[in-house]
Amino acid sequence: MSLAAVDPEIAELIKAEERRQANTVKLIPSENYVSKAVLEATGTVLTNKYSEGYAGKRYYEGQQVIDQIETLAIERAKALFGVPYANVQPYSGSPANLAIYMAFLSPGDTVMGMGLPFGGHLTHGWSVSATGKWFNPVRYGVRRDTGRIDMDEVRSLALEHRPKLIFCGGTAIPRQIDFPAFAEIAREVGAVLAADIAHIAGLIAGGAHPSPVGHADVISTTTHKTLRGPRGAMLMASTEEHAKALDKAVFPGLQGGPHNHTTAAIAVALKEAATPEFSAYAHKVVANAKTLADELLARGFDLVSGGTDNHLILIDLTSKGVGGKPAAQALDRAGLETNYNTVPFDPRKPFDPSGIRIGTPSVTSRGMGEQEMRQIAAWMDEVVTALAKGDAEEVITRVRAEVSELTRAFPTPGLDG
Annotated binding residues for (6S)-5,6,7,8-tetrahydrofolate, written as ranges, equal 116, 120-122, 240
225 catalytically annotated:
yes
Residue 90 φ/ψ region, left for φ over 0, alpha for ψ in the -120 to 50 degree band, beta for the rest: beta
Query: 52, 109, 294, 381: which is the annotated catalytic residue?
Result: 52
Query: 164, 175, 225, 290: which is the annotated catalytic residue?
Result: 225
User: CA-CA distance, 186 to 217, in Å (whole number)?
Assistant: 10
Neighbouring residues of 279: CB distance < 8 A, sequence distance ≥ 6: 206, 207, 208
Residue 193 φ then ψ, to 5°:
-100, 125
50 catalytically annotated:
yes
Task: Compute CA 301 distance to the chain's CA centroid, rounded to the nearest angstrom.
Answer: 24
Asked if residues 374 and 287 have their Cβ atoms less than 8 Å apart, the reply is: no
Query: 42, 110, 131, 222: which is the annotated catalytic residue?
Result: 222
- What residue ranges in 135-176 does DSSP mark as E strands? 136-140, 165-168
User: CA-CA distance, 149 to 177, in Å (whole number)?
Assistant: 8
User: CA-CA distance, 65 to 52, in Å (whole number)?
Assistant: 14
271 catalytically annotated:
no
222 catalytically annotated:
yes
Q: Is 268 exposed, middle or buried (0-12, 13-18, 19+ CB in 10 A)?
A: buried
Neighbouring residues of 109: CB distance < 8 A, sequence distance ≥ 6: 135, 136, 163, 164, 165
Query: 31, 40, 49, 50: which is the annotated catalytic residue?
Result: 50
Query: 76, 131, 175, 196: which is the annotated catalytic residue?
Result: 196
List, as one string, the DSSP characters of 385-406.
HHHHHT--HHHHHHHHHHHHHH
Known binding-site residues equal 116, 120-122, 240
H-helix or E-strand containing 327?
helix 324-333
Query: 49, 143, 155, 231: which is the annotated catalytic residue?
Result: 231
Q: Return the active site residues.
A: 50, 52, 196, 222, 225, 231
